[in-house]
Amino acid sequence: MTALRDDQLPDGTLLLRSNLLESQGFPHAFSTAIGPDGRDFDLSRPGHSPLETPADRLDLDITRFTRAVLPEGTLNSPRQVHGIDIVDACEADDTEADAAWTADPARIAAIRTADCVPILLACPQRNEVVAVHAGWRGLVADVPGAAIRMLVSRGSNPESMVAAIGPAIGVEVFEIGPEVAIEFKRAGLSDALRSGSPRPHGDLHMAAVQRLRAGGLPATGIDGEPACTASSPRFFSHRRDHGRTGRHLAAIAPRTVAGSDPTDLRTCVR
């Protein structure tokens, strides 16, 4: 597992990329809080920004991010509810779910985070991808496993899958209540708990790795060392900023098929 790589665009916008996903040819990116000329790069859903970022600027910056992932692609993300439902990306914008799937090389599956774990999952074998939003509730319920099982049901082998884990709140900062610690233990995530005073801490990155490994991914198929959103000004953090913060996007698209026209958007794949 290696750290995600900084990729600063000509206008100063800072993105993160996975060498593993890149080596397999999957267009993708994780956004940060750093936008053009160093200003905030809030990618909240238009009309739902805790920072009250104007809708026109949100639209502009979401377009900027989309073009940095796939110049002619269409980005879609679900309304996240801390569950395990997975939606076809072409229907995501109007659907409550916590993972978006696509096999369309012209479509970008995306999710939003501001402390929760973003996971970009890809199957080189079938050229399908899933963007996964995993907070502690989603990790306890095993939304990463749900995404893996969905790909397996479509003919994929988890041993051939690759995944990148993006920035999330770190174990040193993520203090949890005893009731949450009990949920971790019941879900088989005891190794993702750390003792602390006065309360225990949860290691969301470790929990994400455990879920991916339990789903069948090899250790060599997982990228992205821990990067704490709450401890760095490079990222937005819901906990650090007491809810008044922006949102990151994590996005991935299938590889462009040789000879295909990426501007020819296909209908939803069933």
Q: What is the pLDDT of residues 120-156, one digit of tens each?
A: 999 999 999 999 999 999 999 999 999 999 999 999 9
Distance between CA atoms of residues 118 and 168, nearest Å: 7
- Kindly report, residue by residue over 153-183, the tens digit of the pLDDT: 999 999 999 999 999 999 999 999 999 999 9
What torsion, rounded to 10 degrees, do the Cα atoms 239, 66, 82, 229 define? -20
Q: Cβ of 66: how many Cβ atoms within 10 Å? A: 21
Q: Do 253 and 28 form a contact (C-beta atoms < 8 A)?
A: yes
- Kindly report, residue by residue over 214-227, the tens digit of the pLDDT: 999 999 999 999 99
5-252 CATH, one of 3.40.50.720, 3.50.50.60, 3.60.140.10, 3.90.1260.10: 3.60.140.10
Q: Do 209 and 192 form a contact (C-beta atoms < 8 A)?
A: no
Q: Is the pTM of this model over 0.85?
A: yes
Give φ, ψ of 191 to 5 degrees: -70, -15
| Mean pLDDT for the stretch of residues 2-17 | 97
Q: Work out the mean pLDDT of the chain and round it to a whole number.
A: 94
Distance between CA atoms of residues 176 and 166, nearest Å: 21
One-letter-per-residue 3-state SS of 155-209: CCCHHHCEEEECCECCCCCCECCHHHHHHHHHCCCHHHEECCCCCCEECHHHHHH
pLDDT of residue 258: 57
| Mean pLDDT for the stretch of residues 81-85 | 96
Q: Do 204 and 169 form a contact (C-beta atoms < 8 A)?
A: yes
